[in-house]
Structure 1
Amino acid sequence: MKFKFKLGNFFLTLATAAAIVLSIVLWIFIMTNDQRFSHLSNQTQSSPVSRQQNRTRNKSLYDLYIPTNSYGFKDGKLYRLYDSKNNLPFEFSKNFQKMKVTKIKALSQKQANYELMLNNPNFIQLTYPDEVTFKLFANFNEKNDHREFNRIFVPDSNHWLYLGNDSNNQLYRVSIKNANFDRLRKYAKTAHFKVPMTFVRLKSGYSAFYNHSTNWQVYSYLTSHQSDSYFVARLLGTSGVSSRTNKQGRTTYSLNYYTRLTVPQSGPNNEHDYLYTHYEKNKVPAATNRLLDSVYYVHRIGLTEQDLRFFDADNNAVSYTNYIEGIPVFLNDHDVQVATNFTSDSVTVNFNSINFQIPVPFDGETKSLEATTQMVESLNRHGLSNENIERIIVGFHVQKDHSHDSLVNLVPTYYVKAYGVWQTANEWQKQDMSVYQHELESEGQ
């Protein structure tokens, strides 16, 4: 027994010594290997931009930054194209990710030439709701190219594309490889949902004006919401909350002095709006980095991203909203799903937790919208002039269905952006326009 005890002590001592020696060797290896050590250091200190770039511009970036509208010609007339079975923007995006750009050539910046392209029946057009940069997409392979575009012209050839910037009428010719848009052209020819329209120039670019009153389908969805604790855990961590305060029914959770999350007021009037704030002294990111950083925050929030798309980039803000049947969804009358704002002191993210979970079979309900020109003329008479209208779209207004707590109806409505604000046409009709005009004159002084 005594011999066995001493032998056990010997092996235990030997194993302990080996572990100590191995630890010392590994420590020396890590500390003397600059590449590995600097890699670890960069990971702990990386910014949202570098974290997003390390994702190698992954699939979800292309899902969020997918064109949202398609247009084409039939018998010489321009139509908005949509097909519920064959998604034209998605088909384009699949090839867009594979193609390689070999050359970008700047062409005309004249409005007359731009409008010739808009009305050329030889192109399929796909549009983003606002400008994006070349550098956002890795396949453009341009190191410092922050030039912007929001319109893509697809010709009959698979060797080039044309890109356009509605705001300044700039056209680009892009030479490409490894792309085949034949299926996109086939889908465009067979698209069964077509609305005739024209492009009309407004303050920020060209908007689709529908030529006559049109019936738009009303859709219904069962919705769900994540709990407050879900977002607290994702944005602040499960054990890092340092304080909790309550003001006017809304609770704010804080992680030290720099990060906080304000959750909605509970009760029947809960609109499910959250505000995440991270304080950090920094320069406001450039346009491309704002687009990339906002993707990082969308991922971090943890919303369902299946139908979430880039919607607007205004000054230092970038916003996203759900697109259902090719139409953007507005919450609480005129809010989007996620709105990120960058300043020199902080990043704020306003977001809504609604999840459009289960579509209810279409029951045939539609809503008729008047011709766009007729709607605009009514706004003009009210005091909202064309020179102050930035964009016009058809969007879904979310209305609660009283037959079920979780059921909502998506009602097609004209939305108008003016003075930097999105509202329904009916909301603008109720506004005192002299107030906006006075603010505009004050800013100009």
Structure 2
Amino acid sequence: MIGMKFKFKFGEFFLGLATLIVIVLSIVLWIFIMTSDQRFSNIGQQNQNNITKEQTRSHNFKSLYDLYIPTTSYGFANGNLCQLYDSKNNLTLEFTKEIKKAKATNKIKKIVDTRTKYEEYLNNPNYVQLVYPDEITFSLFNQLNNAANDNREFNRFFISQSNHWIYLGNDQTNEIYQVKIAGANFDKLRKYACNAKSKYPVRLVRLKEGYSPFYIKTMNAKVYSYLTNHQSYSYFVSRLLGTSGVTSKTNKNGQTVYSLNYYTRLRVPDSNSGEHNYLYTHYEKNKIPNTTNRLLDSVYYVHQLGLTEQDLRFFDADGANVSYLNYIEGIPVFLNKHDLQVKTTFSTDSINVAFNSVNFQIPIPFDGQTKRLKPTQDVVDELVNHGLKQEDIQRIIVGFAEEKDSSHHSLINLIPTYYIKAYDEWKSLGEWEKQDVSTYREADQLTVNEGGK
């Protein structure tokens, strides 16, 4: 009896152990399946994103031209080179309408590669010039380029008296390329240039990143006003992350970070702060795209945001960054003193998109208010006296600074002011004058020394 009792208990022990093992294995298997399902779901989402980006890279979409419109026009009046603008007969929009129709009929041919010859083109009254604020690649508009994957860059179109030839210039390399085209007619563009309402005399001065317009005379630039609005944070959470499986966590600064599947995040500003800066991050292991694909992929992410794109334009491209600003009356609008509207940053493990949700909704009729702007050389001389050398200035432009109007919480005034890019940072003239420039110079020199080791 004692032996039978022992055997019975021994059997119960193994039966219980086997049951426990089965339960544990079931739990482990369940966790594995659930985790794998999330991973497979994320892989599927990444593949879907890649397909969408590949579609974007196919160039077959209208908004590529909308975002990559040249932002500045130049021509001659009374023997002087002038910056041209006409809100009714917009030169850059007319140019874009025709360049869409153009087809290259031969290969791109380099015809200039020296600074002397390049400046002859810049100062030739036989050309109307349409200029991007920074370089783009030949392959961005593939109908002008018969060679695939051509990452050579340009930032300036020269429109001659002929509709059969177009010239593309690169300010930094002093190179000009000639392309024979068919299908475009620039007669109306030339007429608009001749009759443009605003003609500001300028001289093009070579700075660190190319030629910037230096206004010769004092200008009384118009101050514009706009009613603005902002989409709610839930709009961007829904567009960028979806409506299910999203978690959130608020930090001590009041900012909330929304996450989806560990791979995608959106940082939202504190609703009580009055700020409207967001940061979208998507984690994925990948090579940094080449220049053309960075430009195209940034368009994809701009579309994902769902911002109003009517006046949004390509503005700057530094290394792995591609940035956009709103242009109003031909002038870029800086936010929060010097912020950009959208800035995409590509790295080997993530893509970051910093953006502001402001929408310039309703223009207020011009009330006659203006802002006096000094000649550009006077501004540069002031900066030099402050310690910012001219050779350290990358670009200088006139832009709009935001200023809140006390009469209405949604009303802002756009104040014309000089903006200067130096040491890879955009700041207004007033901001640079308050900076200790020596710290930038020391940091820049340290970077140069480290790079030389």
TM-score, with normalisation over the residues of structure 1? 0.89
Counterpart-to-counterpart distance in 2, 1:220 and 1:298: 25
Counterpart-to-counterpart distance in 1, 2:258 and 2:47: 27
Secondary structure of the residue aligned to 2:251 is: strand
Letter in 1 for 2:420: V
The worse-fitting range, judged by mean Cα deviation, of 371-380 and 103-112 is: 103-112
Q: 1:126 aligns with which of 124, 127, 130?
A: 130
Q: 1:62 aligns with which of 56, 62, 65?
A: 65
**Aligned-residue CA RMSD (Å):** 1.5
Is the counterpart of residue 196 in structure 1 residue 196 in structure 2?
Answer: no
Runs of 4+ residues over 6 Å off in structure 1: 40-43
The aligned counterpart of 2:338 is 334
Is the counterpart of residue 179 in structure 1 residue 177 in structure 2?
Answer: no
Counterpart-to-counterpart distance in 1, 2:400 and 2:139: 31
Q: How does 1:367-378 map to 2 (within 5 A)?
A: 367-378=371-382
* Bigger-Rg structure (1/2): 2
Q: 1:432 aligns with which of 432, 436, 439?
A: 436
Q: Post-superposition shift, 1:444?
A: 1.2
Counterpart-to-counterpart distance in 1, 2:45 and 2:444: 48
Q: Post-superposition shift, 1:279?
A: 0.8
Q: Deviations over 1:36-65 (max 9, x none)?
A: xxxx999747355303134x4311110000
Conserved in 1, the CA contact under 8 Å of 2:113 and 2:174? yes
Q: Deviations over 1:276-300 (max 9, x none)?
A: 0011111111000000000000000
Is the counterpart of residue 72 in structure 1 residue 53 in structure 2?
Answer: no
The worse-fitting range, judged by mean Cα deviation, of 315-324 and 234-243 is: 234-243
Q: Deviations over 1:358-401 (max 9, x none)?
A: 00000000001000000000000111001110000000001000
The aligned counterpart of 2:93 is 90
Identify unmatched segments of 5+ residues in structure 1: 1-39
Q: 2:227 aligns with which of 209, 222, 225?
A: 222
The aligned counterpart of 1:26 is none
Is the counterpart of residue 233 in structure 1 residue 238 in structure 2?
Answer: yes
Counterpart-to-counterpart distance in 2, 1:42 and 1:332: 34
Q: Deviations over 1:116-135 (max 9, x none)?
A: 00000000001000000010
The aligned counterpart of 1:146 is 151
How many equivalent pairs are there?
404
Secondary structure of the residue aligned to 1:411 is: strand
Counterpart-to-counterpart distance in 2, 1:50 and 1:173: 30
Q: How does 1:295-374 map to 2 (within 5 A)?
A: 295-374=299-378
Counterpart-to-counterpart distance in 2, 1:290 and 1:381: 38
Conserved in 1, the CA contact under 8 Å of 2:172 and 2:210? yes
Conserved in 2, the CA contact under 8 Å of 1:134 and 1:142? no
Secondary structure of the residue aligned to 1:46 is: helix
Identify unmatched segments of 5+ residues in structure 2: 1-43
Letter in 2 for 1:90: L
Counterpart-to-counterpart distance in 2, 1:263 and 1:41: 23
Q: 1:209 aligns with which of 204, 211, 214?
A: 214
Conserved in 2, the CA contact under 8 Å of 1:70 and 1:126? yes
Counterpart-to-counterpart distance in 2, 1:401 and 1:417: 27
Q: Deviations over 1:274-327 (max 9, x none)?
A: 000011111111000000000000000000000000000011000001000000
Conserved in 1, the CA contact under 8 Å of 2:248 and 2:256? no
The aligned counterpart of 1:112 is 116
